[in-house]
Amino acid sequence: MYKKLGGTVALLAVGLLSQAQKVNVPTVFVDAYKQTEVMLASIAEERGNNTDLVSPRTLENGKLKLVPAKDWTSGFFAGELWMLYRASHRSEWKAKAEEFTAREEKEKFNGGTHDMGFKIYCSYGTGYKYTKNAAYKDVIIQSAKTLSTRFNPKVGCIRSWDHHKEQWGYPVIIDNMMNLELLFAATRLSGDSSFYKIAVSHANTTMKNHFRPDYSSYHVVDYDTVTGKVVKRNTHQGYADESAWARGQAWALYGYTMCYRETKNVAYLRQAENVAKFIFNHPNLPADKIPYWDFNAPGIPNEPRDASAAAVIASGLFELAEYSKNKKEYLTVANTILQNLTNHYRSPIGENKGFILLHSTGSKPANSEVDVPLNYADYYYLEALIRSKEGMKK
Ligand code: GLY
């Protein structure tokens, strides 16, 4: 399937023609309600009595893969349910969102991963944004305390992974920029500035060490905890150490845009603008603006796309457009992505166990989750749709 998407003239034409069009958000949400009903039924069937499995992640050979709360993607489905509630104002969606959010709570004490932001902010954070539930605030603050235990002041960053100890002593991945949103929120909610300071230190250190002169970013930077210096720069999910893994560029764009929102530090705004420029000007960005899984993947145009990267980029661009003088350009690209995801990357209703988008890539080098639906593609797609309609208003 992905070969077909690789470089067809038809898709190229669609990409070019659709640039000025905006997606009809309420109509797309009506489809999302129907598809999520299918997902809820699929979850119930697959889960049975296994309460350790809390959330859908992807399809494996057509079968729904459910994951436990400790999985980095476990919070996205709850976040999707919150966004369906936001769009519909229907109490049924709120009840489901509360149910799936509650399944994440124990993660607030899990200090074994940097993925706290993905898990807790996308579930509890989105829920708090839409309900101001005081109990959610406490979970967010406790989660930030736990995440802060992974900060090393000598390095100036939060440690990302505890796995692959034979390969990296203190790995920090570009994805980790996304977890800073939880820390900024925790300072706002608690008045404790220590979370904010950790987030700023992480963002500054990452800005210094993760980026190449063209503003593409490395996936993994390994640090020496005694000197605080960089030991090496590698990839894990990208094609090569020196390549530009598509989702990594998306995390960078979204992450620095969010950091500008939270700090008003113009250096973060410039960083996000420069990352956007790298993405837009890359000769391997297809006309429909849905990136291949890596900008330097060797078989382009016969390489899988990554709809999740596209969704993250679109959502980030809708926010960046509110802060930058390049507003028109960012909105054009973001709307083009949304239009093409909507028209060419969605699952037919009733199929694919209820996932919304097809054609994402988790880790091509590991031959894992290639050209499949992924819950985070659906999450950022819904978020981008809401942002396209409402802007960043709370
Ligand atoms: N944060 C893991 C990934 O983007 O695949």
Distance 236 CA to ligand 1 centre (A): 10
Strands 63-68 and 53-60: antiparallel
Residue whose CA is closest, atom 5 of ligand 1? 362
Distance 122 CA to ligand 1 centre (A): 14
Mean pLDDT of 335-344: 98
pLDDT tens string 192-206: 999 999 999 999 999
Locate the ligand 1 atom nearest the alpha carbon of residue 173 and give its number: 1
Locate the ligand 1 atom nearest the alpha carbon of residue 115 and give its number: 1
Mean pLDDT of 366-372: 98
Locate the ligand 1 atom nearest the alpha carbon of residue 237 and give its number: 5
Q: Which amino acid is at 214?
A: D
Distance 308 CA to ligand 1 centre (A): 10
Mean pLDDT of 24-29: 98
Residue 70 belongs to a domain: yes
Residue 27 belongs to a domain: yes
pLDDT tens string 33-85: 999 999 999 999 999 999 999 999 999 999 999 999 999 999 999 999 999 99
Distance 237 CA to ligand 1 centre (A): 8
In the predicted structure, residue 383 carries a pLDDT above the cut 60: yes
Residue 57 belongs to a domain: yes
Mean pLDDT, rounded, of the chain = 95
Measuring from each residue's beta carbon to the nearest atom of ligand 1, which residues come in under 6 Å?
72, 175, 237, 247, 362
Nearest to 208 by CA among 284, 137, 157: 157
The confidence score (pLDDT) of residue 2 equals 54
Distance 191 CA to ligand 1 centre (A): 30
Residue 317 belongs to a domain: yes
In the predicted structure, residue 15 carries a pLDDT above the cut 70: no
Q: What is the pTM of this model?
A: 0.95
Locate the ligand 1 atom nearest the alpha carbon of residue 247 and give its number: 4
* Non-local CB neighbours of 132 within 8 Å, separated by 6+ positions: none
Q: Can you tell me the distance from the alpha carbon of 289 to that of 295, in angstroms, rounded to the nearest whole number?
A: 12
Locate the ligand 1 atom nearest the alpha carbon of residue 251 and give its number: 4
Residue whose CA is closest, atom 1 of ligand 1? 175
Residue 2 belongs to a domain: no
The confidence score (pLDDT) of residue 21 equals 81
Q: Can you tell me the distance from the alpha carbon of 214 to that of 243, in angstroms, rounded to the nearest whole number?
A: 12
Q: Which residue has the higher pLDDT, 336 or 13?
A: 336
Residue 394 belongs to a domain: no
Per the structure, how many domains does the chain have? 1
Mean pLDDT of 344-356: 98
pLDDT tens string 83-136: 999 999 999 999 999 999 999 999 999 999 999 999 999 999 999 999 999 999
Q: Can you tell me the distance from the alpha carbon of 33 to that of 134, in angstroms, rounded to the nearest whole number?
A: 27
Nearest to 42 by CA among 373, 384, 344, 380: 373
Residue 290 belongs to a domain: yes
Mean pLDDT of 150-179: 98
* Non-local CB neighbours of 340 within 8 Å, separated by 6+ positions: 11, 14, 15, 18, 288, 289, 290, 310
Asked whether 288 and 306 are in contact (CB, 8 A), the reply is: no
- The residue segments making up the domain with residue 189 are 7-388
Asked whether 127 and 82 are in contact (CB, 8 A), the reply is: yes
Nearest to 171 by CA among 238, 222, 210, 217: 222
Nearest to 181 by CA among 200, 194, 155, 162: 200
Q: Can you tell me the distance from the alpha carbon of 311 to that of 337, in angstroms, rounded to the nearest whole number?
A: 7
In the predicted structure, residue 19 carries a pLDDT above the cut 60: no
Probe target for ligand 1 pocket from 122, 217, 247, with the most ligand atoms within 8 Å of CB: 247
Tokens 């382009």 found at: 300
Distance 52 CA to ligand 1 centre (A): 22
For residue 263, name the pLDDT band (cuts at 50, 70, 90).
very high
pLDDT tens string 269-320: 999 999 999 999 999 999 999 999 999 999 999 999 999 999 999 999 999 9
Show which residues are catalytic: 115, 175
The confidence score (pLDDT) of residue 394 equals 55
The confidence score (pLDDT) of residue 1 equals 46
Q: What's the CATH number where 370 sits?
A: 1.50.10.10
Residue 216 belongs to a domain: yes
In the predicted structure, residue 13 carries a pLDDT above the cut 80: no
Tokens (6 digits) for 321: 């457009």
Probe target for ligand 1 pocket from 72, 235, 236, with the most ligand atoms within 8 Å of CB: 72
Probe target for ligand 1 pocket from 67, 219, 237, with the most ligand atoms within 8 Å of CB: 237
